[in-house]
Amino acid sequence: MGASSSRSATGQVNALTEEMATLKGQFATQGEQMSMIVRALQMFGLQIAMPAPDLAPPSTS
C-alpha cells in the first residue's frame, strides 16, 4: 500500500471514529429522553414495560 493510500485509509478511519462517537452520544441522549418520558407516564398511572436492550455485538460473518 502506498503512502497516499495509507493516508486515505487513516483519514477514513478517523472520520468513522468521529462519526461513531457522535452517534453514541446521540443514542445516549435518546435513551435518557425515553427514560424521562416513561417516568412521566408512570407518574400518571400508566405502566410501561421497557424491553431489555439488545447489546449483543453485531455479527461479523
Model confidence over 10-56: pLDDT tens digits? 999 999 999 999 999 999 999 999 989 888 888 888 776 767 766 66
Dist. CA 13–CA 51, nearest whole Å: 33
59 or 39: whose pLDDT is higher? 39
Q: What is the pTM of this model?
A: 0.55
3-state DSSP: the chain helix, strand, coil percent, rounded to 5? 65, 0, 35
* Cβ-Cβ contacts under 8 Å for 49 (sequence gap 6 or more): none
pLDDT for the residue numbered 47: 72
